[in-house]
Structure 1
Amino acid sequence: MAGDQLTVLNALDVAKTQLYHFTAIVIAGMGFFTDAYDLFCISLVTKLLGRIYYHVDGAKKPGTLPPNVSAAVNGVALCGTLAGQLFFGWLGDKLGRKKVYGITLILMVISSIASGLSFGKSAKGVIATLCFFRFWLGFGIGGDYPLSATIMSEYANKKTRGAFIAAVFAMQGFGILAGGIVALIVSSAFDHHFKAPPYSVDPVGSTAPEADYVWRIVLMVGALPAALTYYWRMRMPETARYTALVAKNAKQAAADMSKVLQVELESEEDKVAKLSQRDSNSFGLFSREFLKRHGLHLFGTTSTWFLLDIAFYSQNLFQKDIFSAIGWIPPAATMNAIHEVYKIARAQTLIALCSTVPGYWFTVAFIDYIGRFAIQMMGFFFMTVFMFALAIPYHHWTLKPNRIGFVIMYSLTFFFANFGPNATTFVVPAEIFPARLRSTCHGISAAAGKAGAIVGAFGFLYAAQSKDPTKRDAGYPAGIGVKNSLIMLGVVNFVGMICTLCVPESKGRSLEELSRENEENDEADQTANATARTVPV
């Protein structure tokens, strides 16, 4: 009911784009910058970890992480992220967005530094310590997903809300890019000052002792942006929608948003008290009413995010293996350990710069014009097309003259992932659920995505393993394994298109209209009126 919309919420919905919008984007977005850096920088140094800690004296090839160890190193942060999304998503609805927001950053700073300081008397000890701290790093990262999305959606106006939420998520692209750049700088500096011969020349000396500093520095740099953001996060006021609709404090909501919007807003305590009475019998997450109103929506957001992340994280975490398979990154035995990090970082930085980052910002530019549904459907469609185009004639792409074509098409899958479902699956769950369940439902949707990422991280690693032991080289996973993996990812993307049909369009509508909270109030009014008519005077 339009008359029941609080003035403070309506003021946010119709507010012109102001400085506070961009401030909120930067504050929330720096968390995502850090998230992406911390999650994906590990893929830059996993081969280095194998060469340092799993080298066998007298071996004819560089040391590599065993499949189970590689899966653990790459996947443990994702497991922590899944747990953090569920826990902090729930906590954000119970305690408030702001109270929980700082905790996630502190956890990320401490865990980033601790990851780089991983210790142990043996290789297993170092890797076990690294996995322990990366789990807690992921736990902190997990909290950033529902909280950042919810805060931005509740601060934004309805006209450009999609662009603002997508802009927060787009900082992930810069985080991936920054990871590549930092690895390039660090590896280049160490390779220049501590020059080691290629493995084929000196199997022992090709992994200089200083290589152990490279991966530690790369991981610890992730603590810097999170630490720099903490002060500004703590200065942000709680969102008006949480304060008014969940905490039922109309006076505080009006006071906070008066400062933000720089206008005078009335508190409307009577209206909030009226809403509180109506909400006394409001449905919960596990109720039949929630299933009736939002069950299909929650299935749509969880299933599409799950399927998207199978493909997206497989591509990101193991693109170094794919580039090695087609020969774009030289065989490990032709390089020293630090120079291999440089080659991997250069390839991933190029992909991020040419396709990942532009894809995110195409979404920011067009999401409030084209709509969430159309962008997500288009993204899944083109990801499917390009995956099959790479997989079916896979051996054609492994020929040296065709490798650049492979890289271009592979880059396009990243572009349409980000100008597509990788952005929209983050945006929509922050818009379509009631305020009291918004953070929880976003956390559930995001956790489903991380479950898909775990499937992708562990599944792709084993699928790409060669069945022929003579071909198991760190630089060249078997082509047939990579081909089958690409086919599976194409099928996954196609199923994602089908599940997108369950996701509603949320463009240009208020959060209360999308979540049907006003409709809920209307029903409460009708029930009250009907009761009043049946009571004799």
Structure 2
Amino acid sequence: MLRLPMDLHRKVKDSPFYDLDETPSSSFHWQVILTAGLGFFTDAYDLFVIGIVTTWLTRFWHLHAWQTALLNSTSLLSAAIGAVLFGFLMDRLGRKTMYGVESILLILGALFSSLAPNFTLLIVMRFILGLGIGGDYPGSAILITEFANRSNRGKFVTYVFMMQGLGLIAGPLLSILIIQSGIPTWLLWRIILGIGAIPALFVVRLRRKMLESPRFLLHVKGDAKQTASILSKLTTKAPDLISEESTFAGLKKKGITFLHAPFGRRLLATSLSWFLIDVAFYGNGISSHEILMHFFYHVTMVQSLFLSLLLFIVFALPGYFLAAYKMDSLGRRFIQWLGFLVMAMGYAIIAIFPGIVHDTYLFLLLYGITYFFIEFGPNTTTFIFPSELFPTKLRGVGHGIAAAIGKVGAFLAAFLFPILIVQNGMHFFFGLLATVSCLGVLITIFLLPESKKRSLEELNGMLASENVHHTYSRIMKSIHEEQIDVVMVEEMMAISSSDLVIMHRFDPLTGLLIPTASKGEDVDQFVLSLRFAKNEETSRSLATLKEDYFFVIDRKEWIVHNRMPRDTYAFATRVGLGSFVAFPLIDNQESVGILSFFYRDENQLIPEVVEKLSGFIQVVTLALIRTRSYIDVRQLAYTDALTQLPNRMGFETKLEERMIRYQEDHQCCFAFVILDLDHFKYVNDTYGHQHGDYALQALAAHLVNVLEPRDLAARLGGDEFILLLDEVEDEQATRVRLEGIIRQLPLSDFELGVSAGACLFPLEGRTYQELYRMADLRLYKAKNAGRGQIIVTDHEMANQLV
């Protein structure tokens, strides 16, 4: 299993979604909450009213017990199918697209259920409605989760889920009003079922204004351009993303599945938790009016509905609000196991002490407390966890599977609990609920991680692979500073979580693979101990490690070595490195170097780790290709084609670097010199342009050889050259250095001479324009003084060169 990045703060901040995670709450968030939450209103409303409708239809259509149970549970069974189906499809076709489809199913299912002429067609319509309800679970949860900011994500998802509470209020309230209206009973149930289509109609309308999830666009589709466009609308800041989809191709091919740790364990934990709470909640909810009728047998249906409504408003509704308020402070994990625990205690008391059922107020108190901790507990958190604990490309199907398993629990409860109550009594029923709740406590504590205020990418170990955009950008920016190897190593060190990274490149002159950059502890001595050599026979495909150890590296293979032998890698094992992997760096179809990752863990390099590292190498390879292209273009733009010296543009770039260094340490000083070849026009006209070009090339080559390492020579054009003589502090030092350089030039071989004008930085100029103006003015004076002169001050007489 991949370890989380060592520098986690930097990774979170470098995530493309950092600004989205940190953006304040806005009207857009509330729009998403409303759009996503209306589906849950339909779900909860239907959950409540189907029990009432079934009671009426049992009389009208003379339904058998199995038909009543099937009618109560059909939509729950189809919801399980819909959750998995829509979860799978939204991971491939998009969140926005599938959310619209399931909303249409909610509308059709509710409307045609209200128009069903017989039991069979009603079951069919209930099945269609259930598909939409099931799809709404992953759709709504993921929609708000992927748009929410990190600090309020739990609260926002809870607000969506709170729409279920409004549905549970609307169910009994509307039922009471419609029953009291005097509408014929045969029409009542149709109106009650048809009302469920109204919220879904609003969802379809609101969906038209929704944006596609930027996480889906980037992580699944690899559409960085569209992702940046959406994020710029939401955060007013477009992230620095790579527009080329090829950057993501390698990562997309190496897909993560539920077989990769820890996602299989998380799927099991979220599914079991949801199964257990739905057994308790749906079994309790669907049978609520039967439970009340059992203990308060003298009440009418309207009175039973009113008691259910009152019970929910007093106990359950505050649980929703407290859950939303505390979800991002107490955390999902704590709230879930606490809720399961209190539920278990409440149900156990009712089951163990039968006399409580005869004490109306005490029974209602215990029953209400369990309702409160269902909502301020697992009924809310089981909805949140699956939307956070899976990577983007698995989030839909992961949430769908968990919801489906929960619906299976609800189906079993709806189908079996009425039978169990009749056969075994209410005490057995509450004892079963207590046992179920205890299992929920154990699963939550031992299998689920805490996810509060953590980014989705951090939670799922995606920060490394999803930061490739920023890695690429930083590598490309480093080209200007000529530190690309150093930056590459630093970036690979950060996103790979390895203990040591080394870059080797082939020296084109010697053919040796030499270390050019490294990052890690005790790195200097270890880098020196790793010396590779190129084998000419295999055209750089064979890299030979000294001391008779060698590896073959080509465009198709890489080295993986766990448990490095002590005799082979004595120094590596001595400093605690136990495994390594080395990848070839390919540019223009040939190996140009090796990038190696070292780990202290002897068994670190499992296939998943190696595959992920190979994905990172693709980013480096892309950067290498772009680097070569950039260098080729820069070479043309900054280099004089004839002499291969920097041209004026190249010189100005180097000069700017020197000036920046002066601003940093205020100790940088240098002489700015313009050289002009005397009599060059005569030589060029007399001996021809080819001879003149040869003279320029020869003098340029000599200039490079006689200058100090930190000096700089450039050709401005024609017969003018420009020099920077580093660490020259006064006019006398400038003259001494310049005279020594000119004496070493083969001027007499080409019948040429030299005139020069010089000035000092920063004493006589702080910009290129100021320095050039001063040096050019002194060159002009040197020319007018008879040529062959050097002038470095305004006050001195022109001195003849000896």
SS in 1 for 2:449: coil
Task: Kindly state the Cα deviation for residue 273 of structure 1 after the two structures are TM-superposed.
Answer: 4.4
Counterpart Cα distance in 1 of 2:141 and 2:200: 17
Q: 1:252-267 to 2 correspondence within 5 Å? A: 252-261=226-235, 263-266=236-239
Give a deviation string over 1:86-131, Cα, whole Å, max 9, x none. 1000001010000111111111011101111110xxxxxx222222
2:207 corresponds to = 233
Give a deviation string over 1:421-443, Cα, whole Å, max 9, x none. 00001101101111111111000
SS in 1 for 2:306: helix
Give a deviation string over 1:485-508, Cα, whole Å, max 9, x none. 111111011011111120110011
Decide whether the 8 Å contact of 1:52 with 1:211 is kept in 2: no
Q: Which runs of no fewer than 5 residues in structure 1 stay unpaired?
A: 55-64, 120-125, 195-209, 332-339, 467-479
Q: Which runs of no fewer than 5 residues in structure 2 stay unpaired?
A: 467-494, 502-557, 560-580, 594-802
Decide whether the 8 Å contact of 1:8 with 1:240 is kept in 2: no
How well do the aligned residues superpose, as a CA RMSD in angstroms?
2.2
Task: Kindly state the Cα deviation for residue 258 of structure 1 after the two structures are TM-superposed.
Answer: 2.0
The answer to whether residue 433 in structure 2 is matched with residue 489 in structure 1 is: yes
The answer to whether residue 110 in structure 2 is matched with residue 112 in structure 1 is: yes
Counterpart Cα distance in 1 of 2:316 and 2:410: 17
Give a deviation string over 1:11-52, Cα, whole Å, max 9, x none. 111111111111111111111112211232101222222232
2:274 corresponds to = 305
Give a deviation string over 1:192-245, Cα, whole Å, max 9, x none. xx7xxxxxxxxxxxxxxx211111111111111110221111210101100111
Counterpart Cα distance in 2 of 1:344 and 1:219: 19
The answer to whether residue 18 in structure 2 is matched with residue 20 in structure 1 is: no
Counterpart Cα distance in 1 of 2:202 and 2:391: 32
Give a deviation string over 1:377-418, Cα, whole Å, max 9, x none. 100000000001112223x1343xx11221221111111011
Decide whether the 8 Å contact of 1:96 with 1:242 is kept in 2: yes
Give a deviation string over 1:265-292, Cα, whole Å, max 9, x none. 146125864344333223334xx4x2x2
Q: 1:33 aligns with which of 26, 35, 41?
A: 41
Residue 98 of structure 1 aligns with an amino acid whose one-letter code is K
The answer to whether residue 114 in structure 2 is matched with residue 155 in structure 1 is: no
Q: 1:177-192 to 2 correspondence within 5 Å? A: 177-190=169-182
Counterpart Cα distance in 2 of 1:386 and 1:4: 42
Q: 1:448 aligns with which of 405, 414, 426?
A: 405
SS in 2 for 1:531: strand
1:532 corresponds to = 584
Task: Kindly state the Cα deviation for residue 524 of structure 1 after the two structures are TM-superposed.
Answer: 10
Q: 1:345-494 to 2 correspondence within 5 Å? A: 345-394=305-354, 396-399=355-358, 402-466=359-423, 480-494=424-438
Counterpart Cα distance in 2 of 1:213 and 1:345: 19
Q: Percent identity?
A: 33
SS in 1 for 2:262: helix
Task: Kindly state the Cα deviation for residue 313 of structure 1 after the two structures are TM-superposed.
Answer: 0.2
Residue 140 of structure 1 aligns with an amino acid whose one-letter code is G
Q: 1:509-528 to 2 correspondence within 5 Å? A: 509-519=454-464, 522-523=495-496
Residue 172 of structure 2 aligns with an amino acid whose one-letter code is G
Residue 254 of structure 1 aligns with an amino acid whose one-letter code is A
Task: Kindly state the Cα deviation for residue 6 of structure 1 after the two structures are TM-superposed.
Answer: 6.2
Residue 140 of structure 2 aligns with an amino acid whose one-letter code is S
Task: Kindly state the Cα deviation for residue 3 of structure 1 after the two structures are TM-superposed.
Answer: 5.0
Task: Kindly state the Cα deviation for residue 259 of structure 1 after the two structures are TM-superposed.
Answer: 2.2
Decide whether the 8 Å contact of 1:83 with 1:139 is kept in 2: yes
Give a deviation string over 1:471-525, Cα, whole Å, max 9, x none. xxxxxxxxx5121111111101101111112011001111001011124563499
SS in 2 for 1:85: helix
| CA spacing shift, 1:50–1:499, aligned 2, 3 Å | same
Counterpart Cα distance in 2 of 1:255 and 1:270: 11
2:90 corresponds to = 92
1:277 corresponds to = 250
Counterpart Cα distance in 1 of 2:291 and 2:233: 52
The answer to whether residue 250 in structure 2 is matched with residue 250 in structure 1 is: no
Counterpart Cα distance in 2 of 1:17 and 1:435: 22
The answer to whether residue 494 in structure 2 is matched with residue 502 in structure 1 is: no
Residue 313 of structure 1 aligns with an amino acid whose one-letter code is Y
TM score, norm. by length of structure 1: 0.84
Q: 1:53 aligns with which of 56, 61, 72?
A: 61
TM score, norm. by length of structure 2: 0.57
SS in 1 for 2:328: helix
Counterpart Cα distance in 2 of 1:408 and 1:116: 36
Counterpart Cα distance in 1 of 2:456 and 2:188: 46
Decide whether the 8 Å contact of 1:67 with 1:461 is kept in 2: no
Counterpart Cα distance in 1 of 2:262 and 2:56: 50
Structure with more relative contact order (C-alpha pairs < 8 Å, separation 6 or more): 1
Task: Kindly state the Cα deviation for residue 536 of structure 1 after the two structures are TM-superposed.
Answer: 6.9
| CA spacing shift, 1:236–1:161, aligned 2, 3 Å | same
1:477 corresponds to = none
Counterpart Cα distance in 2 of 1:177 and 1:38: 11
SS in 1 for 2:181: helix
Give a deviation string over 1:243-274, Cα, whole Å, max 9, x none. 1111111111121222233x131461258643
Residue 487 of structure 1 aligns with an amino acid whose one-letter code is G
SS in 1 for 2:154: helix
Counterpart Cα distance in 2 of 1:464 and 1:162: 36
| CA spacing shift, 1:88–1:506, aligned 2, 3 Å | same
Decide whether the 8 Å contact of 1:433 with 1:515 is kept in 2: yes
Residue 374 of structure 1 aligns with an amino acid whose one-letter code is F
Count of aligned pairs: 473
Task: Kindly state the Cα deviation for residue 463 of structure 1 after the two structures are TM-superposed.
Answer: 0.2
Counterpart Cα distance in 2 of 1:277 and 1:70: 53
Decide whether the 8 Å contact of 2:47 with 2:286 is kept in 1: no
Which has more strand, going by share of residues? 2
SS in 1 for 2:393: coil
Q: 1:60-99 to 2 correspondence within 5 Å? A: 65-99=63-97
SS in 2 for 1:436: helix
SS in 2 for 1:532: strand
Task: Kindly state the Cα deviation for residue 66 of structure 1 after the two structures are TM-superposed.
Answer: 3.0
Counterpart Cα distance in 2 of 1:425 and 1:451: 15
Counterpart Cα distance in 2 of 1:178 and 1:74: 19
Which has more helix, going by share of residues? 1
| CA spacing shift, 1:488–1:3, aligned 2, 3 Å | closer
